[in-house]
Amino acid sequence: MIIRGHPPHIEAYASLHRSSKKDTHCGRNHWQLSGDKTSLVSFDETWQHIFPPPKIFRGPVGRYQQLDYIYERHRRRSRAIRFLLIEARERHHFEGRSEPFVCINPRCSARFIEPGQWTVHAIATEHDKITTDWVPEDHWVRDEYWVLDEYKAEFHRHEPGLKPMLRWRTEILEELRRDWGKKGSMKRWKAEKAFINQLRHDPAYAHRRPPRQCSTWIEYKCAMNG
């Protein structure tokens, strides 16, 4: 959508991550808009990355959609910890030095002599996950993963930011449900009217379907009555 909506005088590309479980290959596809279609292109130039600003959540619709934003942000940050742990092991052995190592899974004898080999192997086999009660020397356990002791403090600093996100989401949901009121009440009528009016008139939350038929309204009612 960003590529299709960019001004015609700007040459825009999209870089999308792709991976295949079959051949454990990771890479990126580069797409460029050609007329009214997107075509696959390849390029070697160094590109400046420009990220669009985060969406501003306003009004009751924005407040509700912020729930999904916080949930997704928490989920992605939680999932990222695994990949940060994998990268940390790579750096431990190959950043500024070259120290080949074998897979930490006791049932695997794979050996890694170059950067990137462990990453591909770990993602494909999940050998970075704990499968036994045995913990390798100089390691500690974080959820279902082995972590090198030297990175323990770094990950402890990362984790405290996750729990407040869920508390914040709970507070927003409780606030919205208080404003929703009881069925048949004036409070409920005002909440419905404000939400529908914003769906109808605010371009930032426009839908193809009429307000009372769009997914946001249906999901909002379910969340409020849940």
- Neighbouring CB atoms inside 10 A of 12's CB total 15
16 or 188, which is more confident? 188
Q: What is the pLDDT of residue 170?
A: 92
**Average pLDDT of the chain to the nearest whole number:** 78
Distance CA 98, CA 138 (A): 19
Measured distance CA(223)–CA(226) in Å, rounded? 5
Q: How far apart are CA 46 and CA 195, in angstroms?
A: 45
Question: Between β-strands 145-148 and 139-142, what pairing exists: parallel, antiparallel or unpaired?
Answer: antiparallel
Instruction: Name the nearest CA neighbour of 85 among 109, 99, 72, 104.
Output: 104
Model confidence over 73-114: pLDDT tens digits? 888 888 887 888 888 888 888 888 899 999 888 888 999 999
DSSP string, 164-204: HHHHHHHHHHHHHHHHH-STTSHHHHHHHHHHHHHHHH-GG
Which amino acid is located at 83 in the chain?
A: F
Q: State pLDDT tens for residues 152-187.
A: 666 666 666 778 888 999 999 999 999 999 999 999
> Hey, what are 193's tokens?
């009217």
> Is the pLDDT reported for residue 22 higher than 70?
no
Structure tokens at 161: 């930011």
Q: Which residues contact 12 (CB under 8 A, 6 or more apart)?
A: 2, 3, 6, 32, 33
pLDDT mean over 29-48: 56
Q: Rounded to the nearest 5 degrees, what angle is found at the Cα of 169, between the Cα atoms of 166 and 173?
A: 140
- Please tell me the least confidently modeled range out of 32-41, 121-130, 185-194: 32-41
Q: How confident is the model at residue 28 (pLDDT cuts 50, 70, 90)?
A: low
Answer yes or no: is pLDDT of 191 > 90: yes
CA atoms within 13 A on the CB side of 106: 9
pLDDT of residue 24: 44
**Integer Cα distance of 70 and 54 in angstroms:** 12
User: Can you give the pTM of this predicted structure?
Assistant: 0.61
What are the structure tokens assigned to 165, written together?
A: 């996100």
